[in-house]
Chains A and B, each alone.
Chain A
Amino acid sequence: MKVYQFTEQPYPEAWKDHSGSLRVNLPNRKCDPKLAADLFHRYYDEWMLADELGYDIMLNEHHQTATCMSSTVVVGLSVLARQTKKARLLVLGYPIGHRQDPLRVAEELSTIDVISRGRLDMGFIKGVPYEFAASNQNPVGVMERFWEAHDFIIKAMTSHDAPFNWESEHFHYRHVNIWPRPWQQPHPPVWSTTGSKSNARVLGERGYVMATLGTGYNTRALYDVYREGYMSKGRGAPPSDRFAYLGLVAVADNERDARERGEQVASYLRSSSIVHLPFRNPPGFLSVEDNARLMRGETPPRSYTKDRRVVDMRSGSVQELIDAGILFCGTPDQAYAQIVDFCEYCGGMGNLLMMGHAGSMTPADTVDNLTLFAREVMPRLKEYKQPVATATAA
């Protein structure tokens, strides 16, 4: 198993004084640039420590929000491409359905792949609902624009002999010929995230790495649809390295301290959903059928425990989050057992995207969390032999 250290690079001071929304319309006067600089440097330092400890690294971006100061992932990737030595650098993700200019995306990511000497993992996403208010891109049809941007970026990264022409529904170019071309051939690995079965199948057909977040003991159904898509292309069962899962992680020498730390990491779930209501579901983000169900007051729960209890991610207790497979928390032995149990349930899950820092967790706590996990849990996870499920769970 590979373990990617991830933080949203939050600005937790904003939690203390806000009027109901941490995203989109939280005035940026509340951001002190000096404090922001200190936080950025600290987060980069912790990622450099993660590199030394044997982690891989995951970065993301969000917009107009105190929950994630990284508003352009290219900056963080650029810094870490130069400053880290061994870690894979996963962007999960780059919201390409929002970008006006996918040529620029292809150029940026190729350059980062070259500077890092081939350590880039390239996660493309459609973006969370609140991003549309910031980007002003039309949420209707975003998946079509996403796939056209994807097709264009891959074509730009894999065309080497002459400029090519691209005149399609969303993007127009006449002389595409990027410099530099990517280090990894034919292109850096492609990842994506999804919560929908129709997307899971498409990702399986393409053989891309599929990540989910907060799906807990509801993950298997998505993985199985991926497997069907993967095998429909004449391949055997997908190996566990095709699957990734974003889990919150808090370990400590004793269970009590670990749970306190778990509470701090869980603050991510409690803060990231605080958004001005109308921005939570822009038209077209969900299907018309799903929106009709919402209008009728039917909201399907997303997170379940292993024994099918519903857990609300935003308000669940540490114990409930552990039961739901959203938080891996305890002593190193306990966390290891929880993660292995989850992998067995999934039929194989080869990439743990570990949120090892969130909210106002201190540098000392973060370093301790990362160091203990790297020393006590990661070696065992690297040894652990993943199952390779071939078909639907019972």
Chain B
Amino acid sequence: MSATSDAVAINGIRIELIERGAGRPLLFLHPATGIADDAPVLDALAKRARLMAPTHPGFGRSEAPKGFDSIDDLAYFYLDFLDSRGLDQVAVVGVSFGGWLAAEIAVKSTARISHLVLANPVGIKVGGREQRDIADIFAVTEDEYLALAYCDPKVGKRDYKAMPEAAVLAASRNREATARYAWSPYMHNPKLKGRLHRIRIPTLLLWGTSDRVLSESYGRAYCAAIPGARFQTIERAGHYPHEEQPQEFANKVLAFIGS
């Protein structure tokens, strides 16, 4: 297993950061469920890239800065992150909530970004006002949630009683942070869809086809709103394809960014 995460400070905000591998810089933005040090996708990506996988402010063991309560706060935080490290030609890869975050970063500035990969991203409103595009994960039981989010629910099942106390606390913080940023409007920014045209860099929409949190038509609408974006599917994966098919996920990302 690779080295565990370190704490770094950006603008005085302390976050956890996993850094691994060498080559092209790749910023991995985790979904609402966080990212574990030993997630197989991280090593798979780090084989052919300089991987940076931070834990967003408020999630896991990262500090929750006072006043941070919107996806904008996170997007500007990561623009500062890229600036402060002087990173250029970065591939930004985000899953679900992290995909939304990646899109919010890219509509603001792609000056330091070469490629964008959005995997089963939330973040936009596609349907009518009485249509719920994104399943309400706060209104279902844990088993119902796992059935919505995973091709194989066993992959997502956590045994909190067997986990170290600190890991349970981190999971508890993930749940709270998700609501802090995405409770209402639920999991989306009503302005984002109208801004996606600003993304003028190569963009890949990756889609775990067993996702029942989102529909594939939602993903295709997302893709259509970004000029020139490509759409690729991953079978036997749901809302978190990096978790259910880590190797295929990494292969597709690395091939797309030319690494």
Interface residue ranges, A against B (CB under 8 Å):
133, 136-141, 169, 276-279, 282-284, 288-289, 291-292, 295-297
Contact = CB atoms under 8 A, between A and B. Distances in A.
Given A139-B179, A277-B141, A297 B69 contact: no
Interface stretch (B34-42, B146-154, B165-173, B224-232): B165-173
B161 A139 contact: no
B184 interface: yes
Contacts of B140: 278
A51 to B, nearest CB: 41
A283 B161 contact: no
A283 B198 CA distance: 34
A288 B179 contact: no
Given A133-B138, A137-B184, 20 more contacts: A138-B179, A138-B180, A138-B183, A138-B184, A139-B183, A140-B69, A140-B176, A141-B180, A169-B67, A278-B139, A278-B140, A282-B179, A283-B175, A283-B178, A283-B179, A288-B172, A288-B173, A291-B176, A296-B160, A297-B160
Interface in B151-199: 160-161, 165, 168-169, 171-173, 175-176, 178-180, 183-184
Contact of B171 (A139, A140, A295): A295
A284 B179 CA distance: 8
B132 to A, nearest CB: 13
5 contacts: A137-B184, A138-B183, A283-B175, A295-B168, A296-B168
Contacts of A133: 138-139
A292 B183 contact: no
Contacts of B179: 138-140, 282-284
A105 to B, nearest CB: 20
Nearest to B168: A292
Q: Is the interface of B mostly helix, strand, loop or mixed?
A: helix
Contact of B169 (A137, A169, A283, A292): A292
Interface of B: 67, 69, 138-141, 160-161, 165, 168-169, 171-173, 175-176, 178-180, 183-184
A169 B69 CA distance: 11
A141 B180 CA distance: 8
Most buried by B among A139, A169, A279: A139
Nearest to A277: B141
A140 B180 CA distance: 6
Contacts of B139: 133, 276, 278-279
B137 to A, nearest CB: 9
Given A279-B139, A284-B180, A141 B169 contact: no
B172 A295 contact: yes
A288 B224 CA distance: 39
A139 B175 CA distance: 12
Most buried by B among A137, A139, A291, A292: A292
A292 B167 CA distance: 9
Contacts of B183: 136, 138-140, 283
A278 B169 CA distance: 19
Contacts of A282: 138, 179
Contacts of B171: 292, 295
Nearest to A276: B139
A279 B137 CA distance: 11
B176 A283 contact: yes
A138 B165 CA distance: 27
Contacts of A292: 165, 168-169, 171-172
A128 to B, nearest CB: 16
Contacts of A136: 183-184
A296 B176 contact: no
B192 to A, nearest CB: 19
Contacts of A140: 69, 176, 179-180, 183
